Amino acid sequence: MTGKPLTILGIETSCDETAAAVVRGQIPGPGEILSNIVFSQTEAHAPYGGVVPEIASRAHLEILDDIIEQALDQAKVCVAELDGIAATAGPGLIGGVMVGLTTAKAIALGAGKPLIAVNHLMGHALTARLTHGVAFPYLLLLVSGGHCQLLGVGGADDFRLYGSTIDDAVGEAFDKTAKILGLSYPGGPAVEHAAKTGNSRAYDLPRPLLNRRDEARADFSFSGLKTAVRQLAQRHVSVADASAGFQAAVIDILYDRSRLAMAMFRRDFPGANTFVLAGGVAANQAIGTALTQLCKEEGFITRIPPPRLCTDNAAMIAWAGVERLTDGAGGSALSVSPRARWPLATGPI
């Protein structure tokens, strides 16, 4: 790809991270992250054991201006030098999305720059291009607090769904398991840490849908596993062993479903062999190691962004802005609305 690299400000406020970043780059990447500021509201939500939407949107409103200023300062870029302003327009907690998107609209309008309304999931889905310059097509396992999907990614706007969760998202299962076991919020890192000293075979936990091959989908289910952990916790069990058992069951499920999706992906894209892991749960080292092993067995190359680019951040939103402005779709209308729900396959707005 030749041409001038684009410099984009990204804004992310869809959950409990208030984030702004400046990224410079051109497709297919890798891009240069000039700044990446993430303010985590964890402390404000911790007493409630989960994100409280009203607290989140107020906190975004209080701090976002300052975070954007820090991102621009650290990048040594002024608004006039930007090629566009990208902000998460959904899916997510609507109050928070409104704060980020409205702020982006104001900056874009004031500076006469394009606004890019970004799908948060697209941000996660394209991060491996920002970090590794991964070419299309690739198989993507997107695992976050709200989503668990296997997708064939044929282009920045070509997503083929091979499977998704029929109940809980995998990050949600980690968070609920942590709560049941009395571990701290957010649950994913706490369960991973506790699992390190545990025996994964101490308790027999279910692996729903494992080895299911009777349909043309690689779907996931985690609610039975969560219920089993709840029942287990009613006895006096070792938190480390229960965490290790839960994480091992999750790994078995992700491994089996990803292997099934690899066959579907190969049918759609003969000869392609890149497997990308993205979303907050991709920060889990044990999951990364297991899926890297699967890729070795199946002849795939694994690409996993570094942990701080797996969990929510604005660099991935800025990068999605680079992709959008490059692919000719252009900027979004200033009248664009925030969306609480926004499946990946719907296309740009």
Under the rule (CB under 6 A), what is the footprint of ligand KG4? Answer: 15, 144-146, 171, 174-175, 186-189, 192, 279-281, 283-284, 311-312
Decide whether 272 or 283 has the Cβ nearer to ligand KG4: 283
Closer CB to ligand KG4, 5 or 307, in the complex: 307
Q: Does 219 bind Zn ion (CB under 5 A)?
A: no
CA-derived radius of gyration, the chain: 20
Give the binding-site size for Zn ion (rule: CB under 5 A).
2
Q: Quote the least distance from Cβ 316 to ligand KG4, whole Å.
A: 9
In the complex, what is the shortest distance from the CB of residue 47 to Zn ion, in angstroms, rounded to a whole number? 23
Strands annotated E in the chain: 6-12, 17-25, 32-40, 84-90, 115-119, 138-143, 148-155, 158-164, 274-278, 301-303
Q: What are phi and psi of 338, to 5 degrees?
A: -70, 150
Residue 17 as a binder of Zn ion (CB under 5 A): the answer is no
State the number of CA atoms in the 13 A half-sphere of 204 facing the CB. Answer: 0
Q: Candidates 36, 88, 119, 144: give the one binding Zn ion (CB under 5 A).
A: 144
Main-chain dihedrals φ then ψ at residue 303, nearest 5 degrees: -130, 120
312 is a contact residue toward Zn ion (CB under 5 A)? yes
Sign of CA dihedral 162, 187, 88, 291: negative
CA pair distance 111, 77, nearest whole angstrom: 14
What, of ligand KG4, Zn ion, none, does residue 348 touch, CB below 5 to 8 Å by kind? Answer: none
Choose among 105, 40, 37, 48: nearest CA to 72: 37
Roughly how many angstroms between the first and final C-alpha of the chain, as a whole number?
A: 25
Q: Supply the minimum distance, in Å, between the C-beta of residue 50 and ligand KG4.
A: 10
For ligand KG4, give the closer residue by CB, 185 or 269.
Answer: 185
Query: Among the candidate windows 45-53, 101-109, 139-147, 242-250, which touches Zn ion by CB under 5 A?
Result: 139-147
Which of these ranges, 61-69, 137-145, 265-273, 297-305, lies near Zn ion under the rule CB under 5 A? 137-145
Is it true that the peptide bond before 189 is cis, omega within 30 degrees of 0? no
- Residue 219, contacted partner among ligand KG4, Zn ion, none, CB below 5-8 A by kind: none
Residue placing its CB nearer to Zn ion in the complex, 35 or 127: 127
Q: Could you tell which of Zn ion, ligand KG4, none binds residue 284, using a CB distance below 5 to 8 A set by kind? A: ligand KG4
Tell me 50's DSSP state.
Answer: S
CB nearer to ligand KG4: give 137 or 171: 171
If the CB atoms of residues 92 and 245 are measured against Zn ion, the closer one turns out to be 92
Contact in structure between 130 and 237 (CB atoms under 8 Å): no
Q: Are strands 148-155 and 158-164 parallel, antiparallel or unpaired?
A: antiparallel
Stretch that binds Zn ion, among 228-236, 288-296, 300-308, 311-319 (CB under 5 A): 311-319
| Residues of this chain that bind Zn ion (CB under 5 A) | 144, 312
